[in-house]
A and B are shown apart, each in its own frame.
Chain A
């Protein structure tokens, strides 16, 4: 039993339960304010606990599971309440806690109200209490995904996030929010149901659902056919979540419709659950099956990189009515393609790069969605053509701080050396250049070339976006007259992301030192 990791899950759960209790007073506005304050307090406490977890983590042996708890929960199904962190999951847990805390701070000042924010009468507005309850439940699911070490618990955690995210999109979103939310939940549920079948097959053949035991066995006792079938099922399930091309089509709609905090968490954390699952489950548990399927995963990843950047390029073109949030969503498809390519290489270099790119994408895209969400709030739309007008939105002139942050996030996203986006994608391509023994080198080199092409295209569209949004003539007629610059609460919730982007770019060993031993352990099975 380890109290820290349990507290990490129990705190937000208690917070979510508290929102059901009638403790916020009868007045709507006051109750909402109190609930949102509670949200910040709870997520802040969770973040502190995660920092404590990181501080207490034995950095000398990140391959070892630490802060473990292992008690029987459902003996009939052999489900154990098994928690633990190692160098792979620790950064993701801290990232999750940080992003949720920042989102909670942000929403305290700017509760997303959906489209009816100003028009609807008070009682028709979705309540802050409900928002907080769902938000905290979402946090439970996200943290649990990275903390559990039992296949069925992993599946459970995977499913916990669906309902809160569904309602965040459907109730607090904008535009075609209900179809987007439906599409999101149906896609991901189909994926996770298929993944469950893979888990059950493994459990049926290996006799246990414990990830550590299965990883230690490293595929022994599972026939090649079983491994391939299980790997296929799990890979398809996780690829929906990641998302890998061609299973990504839920993502752009969900991002476009979601409120800002929903987009941030969706891109920053939920997508990582898919790639984390690939590293945590697929690589160590069914290594033979993964090796058989890795070239296909790599191919889909490479296509996804190019496809994502081309889609973004099309959206960034003047006159294409491109939505900025949609554009960033497509750019996520490209970035997650790098992560998948790194994993598919099955080398320590590639997988380390994938994990690094995971974190980097969480920081950078989180920041991008924050900034674009703020723009959408100010302009009332995220339509690139409306924003930029004839010459460009001229943020440098009209709101220089926001413009600078957007430009910063954009160049970080395109992989400028010295910022977080660089290392992960570079290492992923290195991994593809020299894939693990048994994988076809020419194929992976082709993927690497495609990925390289993707980085060029990425640079192209992001620079176009920066040009159209940040530059331009400040004097031209704009959709809104007054454009407030960075507000204090925005500064508070965005600065940590920008700072960490810089830190991770300048000092990659901070993350790689944690993940490398753990990755070698997972790949080697020793």
Chain B
């Protein structure tokens, strides 16, 4: 949005020409009429964040748990605010006309979106649903953790909501400056969230996360600078135009800029080789934060990557298509091999395994993105990424929920899940279902179809080799998911049984598990609910 303002004011303050045109006709081009309905989802989350922060000051200690409910309510409200946007044609706001005038062919974002910094099209809505929904589930998951680990409530909820705001803003932003700001709004609170656990691990994890993330941001900013210099614009559609018509001597600059920009997003998606922070950060963070990062953080990075590649860097489609395909193949392989190497009996192995598996899953998520580089129609395969991300979000948060439910002590190992079926059959069944969804095997039907749409995107784009690599990876991943699933049903040590028997789950955890499990079951029966996203173009 910042960029929209500067771009709108730029010609006015410097050029005589614009001033006269203002006097003559169409003064609306300079007056920002804000479409409040379109920006409501991130706005509500931001307002809720501030409300939580202020309320925290006036709330007596014994009522602090209301903060969590307030945060959850805010996120729910933001989700509801998505509803009025669904049936309409894309709504755009923060627009400047002079950018629109410069484009002679309608860009991917549609004619309405040419010079706009914020567009609420289907792409944005799907990823906002993922970001806000994921944040809501993470918030439900957090209520118990905040209470149990005595984390500072006001700060925690404020940071979570701020980060969710950024993640919700990113998919709707359509210029590079807004994207960077949104990405930082999503990331900066996340560092603090990771650090909130008051032991050595939390601080170390946060530092690792912070240093590598800030490096990535710096690299990305440099890249955006290059791109701006070469193309003369920050608006994604205009960047594509500018890159196409860039003078020859600026080509290397533009290409370097594109690469550097993508590096920043690849970091957020935790693509190899920018994945090293993931296992340590996840194990060091409070468990719900790890779940949040694995879904919402990834969604933010992914939506940014998708926008940057398919819209802004469209002219270089074949180059980044191949690069992303290689990146996807390497990411899924490294992630799954990393998960395979985890020992089940060590502390933190449950979260570590989920962390590595999330790297592997990020590889699958990149496949349709790579396919978009080859697809003649442009952005169609993105739907597969969106659908898969939604499915992954639900089941992965569910799995984190079960880990939270099982983890009576910090550092749950996979072996702690032994005999869970005998202790608490519904939790065990839910976990088995989530793991099988992640593996993509029935009865986890929705996980299976999620994989099918990703495979389909690869096959349609002619990326047969990538599909084969992914097929092998799916089999490798099945192995560790299945070993974990089998653990749930094997008899436990008698000591462990006595330890955890009879304890009831806290209400918020039950709600989380119920919500995610029923969502996964409903989607398994009616996959069309989520797969319609993969049906056509999102823009």
Contacts and interface: CB of A to CB of B under 8 A. Distances in A.
Interface residues of A, number: 39
B442 A159 contact: yes
Interface residues of B, number: 35
Contacts of A445: none
Contacts of A185: 478, 482
B478 A197 contact: no
B429 interface: yes
Contacts of B422: 123
Contact of B478 (A77, A130, A189): A189
A137 B443 CA distance: 9
B482 A182 contact: yes
B453 A77 contact: yes
Interface stretch (B12-20, B292-300, B469-477): B469-477
Q: Which of B449, B460, B467, B475 has the most CB of A within 10 A?
A: B475
B471 A194 contact: yes
A186 B449 contact: no
- Dominant secondary structure of chain B at its interface with chain A: helix
Interface in B430-469: 436, 441-443, 445, 448-449, 452-453, 455-456, 459-460, 464, 467-468
Interface in B79-135: none
Contact of B443 (A74, A160, A166): A160
Contacts of B441: 159, 162-163, 189
A197 B468 contact: yes
B411 interface: no
Nearest to A170: B486
Contacts of A193: 471-472, 474-475
A159 B442 CA distance: 6
B449 A77 contact: yes
A137 B432 CA distance: 15
A350 to B, nearest CB: 31
A189 B475 contact: yes
Nearest to A166: B482
Contacts of B527: 73-74, 77
A196 interface: yes
B534 A77 contact: yes
Nearest to A178: B486
A463 interface: no
Contact of B531 (A77, A156, A197): A77
A26 B96 CA distance: 70
A77 B460 CA distance: 13
A42 B383 CA distance: 41
Contacts of B491: 120, 123-124
B407 interface: no
Interface string A190-218: 10011011001101100000000000000
Given A76-B531, A124-B491, A163-B442, A197 B482 contact: no
21 contacts: A74-B449, A74-B528, A75-B535, A76-B453, A76-B534, A77-B449, A141-B442, A162-B442, A163-B436, A163-B441, A163-B442, A186-B475, A193-B472, A193-B474, A194-B468, A197-B459, A197-B464, A197-B468, A200-B452, A200-B456, A200-B459
Interface of B: 422, 429, 436, 441-443, 445, 448-449, 452-453, 455-456, 459-460, 464, 467-468, 471-472, 474-475, 478-479, 482, 486, 489, 491, 527-528, 531-535
Interface of A: 20, 73-77, 120, 123-124, 126, 130, 137, 141, 152, 155-156, 159-160, 162-163, 166-167, 170-171, 178, 182, 185-186, 189-190, 193-194, 196-197, 200-201, 203-204, 229
Given A77-B527, A126-B489, A204-B456, 15 more contacts: A74-B449, A76-B531, A76-B535, A155-B452, A156-B448, A159-B441, A162-B442, A163-B442, A163-B443, A171-B489, A185-B478, A190-B471, A194-B471, A197-B468, A197-B471
